[in-house]
Structure 1
Amino acid sequence: MFKLKEKNFIRTISPIVTVIMVAIVGVTIFQLINFPMPWMLGSLFGVLFTQLLWKLPMKWPVFMRNFGLLIVGTAIGQLFTFDILVSMQDTLLFMLFLNIVLSAFCLALAYALQKWAHIPLATALTASIPGGLSQLVVFAEEQEDIDVAVVTFFHVIRVLFVVGLIPIIVSLTGKVPEAIETGSTNILHNGFLILLGFILLPIGKKLKLPVPHFLTPVIIGLLLSLFKVEIAPMDSNLLHIAQLCIGAYIGLLLHPKSLRLPRRVLIGGISSAVLLLIITFFIAEGMVLLFEMDFATSYLSTAPGGMDQMGLIATALQADATQVTIFQLFRMLFIYIIILPLLKWRLLKR
């Protein structure tokens, strides 16, 4: 009986240990070649290529990713102040205009995909919306006329391209902001805030916050700043752990079986991700001129990635993580409050 339990434990833990080892090897290689964001990109690409090239049993529990999100949310929450929120009201109209433009572009992209890749319009629309991966896959599963496999592939490819390429693009442009001295860190203080975020997580879920593991500690940080509570900056080692946890999770998203889709669908998924990166690149350049912000902040604010992922990259690249989070949160709310209900209405009308 004991041996059976031991074998089951080894069988359960072995795929997780494999991911950790592969991720650490990836991080080490990326550090040696001075690659940007080695802890995130090294683990991401290490796990991704290992999964695609070798049939090793690999598994990454969701709670590991969620732990990483709690760390990132806590780090960004420490930066939030009420003054920052007030100052963002000047950009509300621009954020609305930006999301209307992106939605129009995605609509045109969906029609092109429908014609070229021979997929239903409802599937093409859901696949083209730059919203959260898990939320849009769940939305697709709830509709009868949508091909979930195609939607999943498009959003996984977009996440991989956005998270994998944006740090490289920003680094190649030489527009990475200079490191800012944030003061001394206190790992015990950090740990207490992360624990507080975890304890209050059920409230975030009850309020149906998008990405609650990320937004709950962000809101806690904002509330603490309102009460003038001094918060120590996040320890860099904790941020490295968060990057590895999230990087490994993203690296496992693209399963080999996802590549069995028709060739035109595969090309369409890659092309749509690249086109979204290009259009948001030029919008970001315009934002630099309009708002006098640094390029890293503007690109991460407009990029079609997840709010949590863009916030993590912002903290790593010394961009304005609070501004990035607000822009991405606005886009997410715009999609969930306006775009998805319109899409659902159109599907019901059919």
Structure 2
Amino acid sequence: MFKFRGDFMRTISPIVTVIIVAIVGVTIFHLINFPMPWMLGSLFGVLFTQLLWKLPMKWPIIMRNIGLVIVGTAIGQLFTFNILVAMKDTLFFMLVLNIALSVFCLALAYSLQRWANIPLATALTASIPGGLSQLVVFAEEQEDIDVAVVTFFHVIRVLFVVGLIPIIVSLTGKVPEKIETGSASLLQSTLLILLGFMLLPVGKKLKLPVPHFLTPVIIGLLLSLFNVEISPLDNNLLHIAQLCIGAYIGLLLHPQSLRLPIRVLIGGISSAVLLLFVTFLIAEGMVFLFDMDFATSYLSTAPGGMDQMGLIATALQADATQVTIFQLFRMLFIYILILPILKWKLLK
């Protein structure tokens, strides 16, 4: 009995610690009027606590997945067939954009190889702006890639993108005006979220990238095709999603990650900043080309994950459907074209 209670407390205590730290971070960010306090407050609260104090902290992957399903459900309600049809107007631009970014990342990888003295295969995998988990898994499957370096580069990029983009957009004063809309009943929202979880095996069977996010998005699209009207999710559910994902990202940068050579650490930070700057310039150009608001254009081009950018888009009232389409296209471009080429090159 006592042994069971002790094991239970050892399991639950690190999770409770993360929840407390995340809520404290959210509260502080609310008090100082920081943008996206539920996500950034939990992220930076957990990140700094982990780096400064040796507290036992743990965040089960199911908590992140709950956040992803909620965000996917929220964005899925915005998707319509007409939005997908309108995608053809930007298809050529998305192709050119991703080719240009790939060339830039290739040049960046060669520079990193020479300056940080890391193998080219490692530098290339670290420089590709794809999903964190997928690229780390790809690195683990290759014999001549340093997984620790690849992980650090992608974790730093996620932290910079998720942490800085909301601040940059807010500082530019180009945040879209908030539109007051009705919200779905808690019962309807809960049923939709449960439906997303129930159909997850289908999304995984279809090998969807980030299935916890894309499966509910596709469900929302299918419901709209059958003219099923659904009100937007309640803001409190989106706050829960932001906290779940923010805490997860905050725990990604482990103290042992900082034990890499100093040039690798500087290279990871520099590459993240460079990508943010380049995509910032591209986003400014998109505002004029497509009459798009800046928040939407920057989140569409930013080198973050599709799920993270979608979450920030919903929080900043940007066009989350447009952001998801751009990010999905880039992810498919990387996984269908770039990674097979890289793997072929490594096997030669």
Q: Is 1:40 equivalent to 2:36 in the alignment?
A: no
Q: SS in structure 1 opposite 2:175? A: coil
- Partner Cα separation in structure 1 for residue 302 and residue 92 of structure 2: 18
Q: SS in structure 2 opposite 1:180? A: coil
What TM-score results when the alignment is normalised by the length of structure 2?
Answer: 1.00
| Alignment match, 1:24 | 23
- The Cα of 1:44 is off from its aligned counterpart by 0.1
Structure 1 gap segments, 5+ residues each: none
Q: Is 1:156 equivalent to 2:121 in the alignment?
A: no
| Alignment match, 1:116 | 115
Q: SS in structure 1 opposite 2:233? A: coil
- Partner Cα separation in structure 2 for residue 343 and residue 199 of structure 1: 35
| Alignment match, 1:174 | 173
- The Cα of 1:248 is off from its aligned counterpart by 0.1
| Alignment match, 1:205 | 204
Identity of aligned residues (%): 86
- Partner Cα separation in structure 1 for residue 105 and residue 183 of structure 2: 44
CA deviations on 1:78-127 (whole Å, 9 max, x unpaired) are 00000111111100000000000000000000000000000000000000
> Structure 2 matches for 1:49-68, cutoff 5 A?
49-68=48-67
Structure 2 gap segments, 5+ residues each: none
| Alignment match, 2:299 | 300
Contact in 1 for aligned 2:152/2:253 (Cα 8 Å)? yes
Q: Is 1:278 equivalent to 2:277 in the alignment?
A: yes
Contact in 1 for aligned 2:176/2:317 (Cα 8 Å)? yes
Q: SS in structure 2 opposite 1:58? A: coil
User: In structure 2, what residue type is equivalent to 1:83?
Assistant: N
- The Cα of 1:185 is off from its aligned counterpart by 2.9
> Structure 2 matches for 1:139-288, cutoff 5 A?
139-288=138-287
| Alignment match, 2:95 | 96
| Alignment match, 2:325 | 326
- Partner Cα separation in structure 2 for residue 184 and residue 245 of structure 1: 21
- Partner Cα separation in structure 2 for residue 23 and residue 305 of structure 1: 22
- The Cα of 1:184 is off from its aligned counterpart by 3.5
- Partner Cα separation in structure 1 for residue 130 and residue 99 of structure 2: 14
- Partner Cα separation in structure 2 for residue 57 and residue 3 of structure 1: 21
- The Cα of 1:188 is off from its aligned counterpart by 1.1
- The Cα of 1:33 is off from its aligned counterpart by 0.1
What TM-score results when the alignment is normalised by the length of structure 1?
Answer: 0.99
Runs of 4+ in structure 1 displaced over 4 angstroms? none
Contact in 2 for aligned 1:113/1:119 (Cα 8 Å)? yes
CA deviations on 1:116-173 (whole Å, 9 max, x unpaired) are 0000000000000000000000000000010000000000000000000000000000
- The Cα of 1:187 is off from its aligned counterpart by 1.5
| Alignment match, 1:336 | 335
- Partner Cα separation in structure 2 for residue 83 and residue 43 of structure 1: 36
- Partner Cα separation in structure 1 for residue 83 and residue 125 of structure 2: 33
- Partner Cα separation in structure 1 for residue 212 and residue 279 of structure 2: 27
- Partner Cα separation in structure 2 for residue 46 and residue 108 of structure 1: 35
- The Cα of 1:232 is off from its aligned counterpart by 1.5
Q: SS in structure 2 opposite 1:175? A: coil
- Partner Cα separation in structure 2 for residue 84 and residue 202 of structure 1: 26
| Alignment match, 1:137 | 136
Which stretch shows the higher mean deviation, 177-186 or 288-297? 177-186
The count of corresponding residues between Structure 1 and Structure 2 is 348
- Partner Cα separation in structure 1 for residue 307 and residue 261 of structure 2: 31
| Alignment match, 1:126 | 125
- Partner Cα separation in structure 1 for residue 247 and residue 74 of structure 2: 20
Contact in 2 for aligned 1:162/1:304 (Cα 8 Å)? yes
- Partner Cα separation in structure 2 for residue 290 and residue 45 of structure 1: 35
| Alignment match, 1:10 | 9
Contact in 1 for aligned 2:183/2:233 (Cα 8 Å)? no
User: In structure 2, what residue type is equivalent to 1:313?
Assistant: I
User: In structure 2, what residue type is equivalent to 1:249?
Assistant: Y
Q: SS in structure 1 opposite 2:42? A: helix
- The Cα of 1:181 is off from its aligned counterpart by 2.2
User: In structure 1, what residue type is equivalent to 2:107?
Assistant: A
- Partner Cα separation in structure 2 for residue 184 and residue 103 of structure 1: 40
User: In structure 2, what residue type is equivalent to 1:275?
Assistant: L
User: In structure 1, what residue type is equivalent to 2:32?
Assistant: I
- Partner Cα separation in structure 2 for residue 45 and residue 214 of structure 1: 23
Contact in 1 for aligned 2:50/2:57 (Cα 8 Å)? yes
- The Cα of 1:227 is off from its aligned counterpart by 0.2
Q: SS in structure 2 opposite 1:79? A: coil
Contact in 1 for aligned 2:139/2:145 (Cα 8 Å)? yes
Contact in 2 for aligned 1:186/1:233 (Cα 8 Å)? no
CA RMSD of aligned residues (A): 0.4
Q: Is 1:314 equivalent to 2:313 in the alignment?
A: yes
User: In structure 2, what residue type is equivalent to 1:69?
Assistant: L
CA deviations on 1:327-349 (whole Å, 9 max, x unpaired) are 00000000000000000000001
